[in-house]
Structure 1
Amino acid sequence: MGKSCKVVVCGQASVGKTSILEQLLYGNHVVGSEMIETQEDIYVGSIETDWGVREQVRFYDTRGLRDGSELPRHCFSCTDGYVLVYSTDSRESFQRVELLKKEIDKSKDKKEVTIVVLGNKCDLQEQRRVDPDVAQHWAKSEKVKLWEVSVADRRSLLEPFCLPGQQDDPAPEQVCLPSQPQEQGQWLLGWLKSYHSFFTLPTLFQLLEL
C-alpha cells in the first residue's frame, strides 16, 4: 500500500454530504430516505493505478455546520483535499461554502490542496435559490472547480471526481459504472492529477471498495 490521502467533505447541515458519498461509492442511497445526522464518519477505499500501485484514500464525512459552528481544527491537519458541498435550494448554504473556502485558505499554510465545490439538489429547479452563473463566477474568482450535481443521478457525481489531467497526460479512458455496484464492488473512477493534485500518477485510477 502506498501513501494515504485525506479528503475532507464539509458544508452546512442537510446539504447532502453523506448522501453524495454513499451514492458515489456504493450506489445504494435511496432518495427521500430519512437520514441520521452525521457526527463524523470515514469512508475508506483504495485507488489502484494501471501500474498496479495502490493508494489509500480516506473521505472524512464531517458533521453538518450550523450557525456559530466551525470546521473542527483536525480537519485542517495533513489534508490533501476538500469537497465543499452546498444545496442549490439554499442561499445560506452557498454562503457557508464561501466562508469555508476563506477558512481553508487561512489554515492550509503553504501546502497546495485540491478544492472541489458541489452544488447538490440541482434537480429541484423550482426550489432553486442559488444562481448557477453567480456560483460559477465565484468559483472562477477563487480558482476552484464547481459542479452542480444530484444524488438522484449517480452519473452526475462522477465528473467532479475525474478532474482533467495536465496536457501531457494520456487521454483518460471512459469511466464505467457497474450496474450493481454493491455486488461488483469496483468501478473505474479517476481523480486525475491537475495543478493541485491528490496524486502524482498520470492515469485513470480504479477505486476499489475495501
Structure 2
Amino acid sequence: MIVVIPLLAVLAIVFGPMLYVRWTMARHGSDRPDFPGTGGELARHLLDEAGLQHVPVERVAAGDHYDPVAPAVRLGEDHFDGRSITAVAVAAHEVGHAVQHRDGMAMFGLRMRLVRILIATERTAYVILLLAPVLAFFTRSPPLMFAQLALFVAVMALSVIVHLVTLPVEFDASYRRALPALAAGYLAGPDVGRARSVLRAAAFTYVASALMSLLNIARIARVFR
C-alpha cells in the first residue's frame, strides 16, 4: 500500500494533463452548424487580417501546429474541416503562433533555437544510450558508461527546458492572441468561456510533454542505478 499510493500519485501527475486535454477537446468538439466557417476557413481569415497572406493553411492527418520554417499553419482533418468550438479555438491558437513569428517575439525565437539544438542532439543521445552497454562491456570502464548516461540525461533535461520555455509562448498564443480574436465577433456568450477551456487545454499539452520527459529521465536513471 505504501508503494501503491506514490505510484498512483506519479501516474496522476504525469497522465492527468493528457487526459484533461483529450476530455476538454472532445467535450467541445461537437459540430456547430451555426458557425460561419470551419477551423481552416477561420485560420485563413485571421492570417489575412494579420497581413500573413503568404502563410498557407494546410490539412494534415494529425498534429495541429505552426511550422515557422515553411512557414505554414497545419491543422488536423477534424479541426481543418470542423465547425466546432475546439476546431476554431485550435485554428486561432495556431494562427497566434504565426503572429508571434511575424512580431519577432523573443520567447518564440528562443524556443525555435532550442528546438533546433534538441533535434540535433536527441538522435545522438539515443545512439549513445544504445552503445553505452556495449562500450562498457568491452572497455570494462564504469566511468565511461556513467559519462554516456549523464550526457543522455542532460539531453533529456534539455527537452524539459524546451517544454518549459514553450509554456509562456503557448499561453501568449492562447490568451493574448487567439481568445481576443475569437471574442471580437466570432464567438459570443458562453462560447467564449468554452473556447478559453480549449485554449487552456492546448497549452497544457506541453505540461504533459514536460512531465513525460521527466518520467523518462527517472526511468533511465533507475535502469542504470
TM-score normalised by structure 2 residue count: 0.23
Q: TM-score, normalised by structure 1?
A: 0.24
**Higher percent of residues as strand:** 1
Considering fraction of residues, name the structure with more helix: 2
Indicate the structure (1 or 2) with the bigger Cα radius of gyration.
Answer: 2
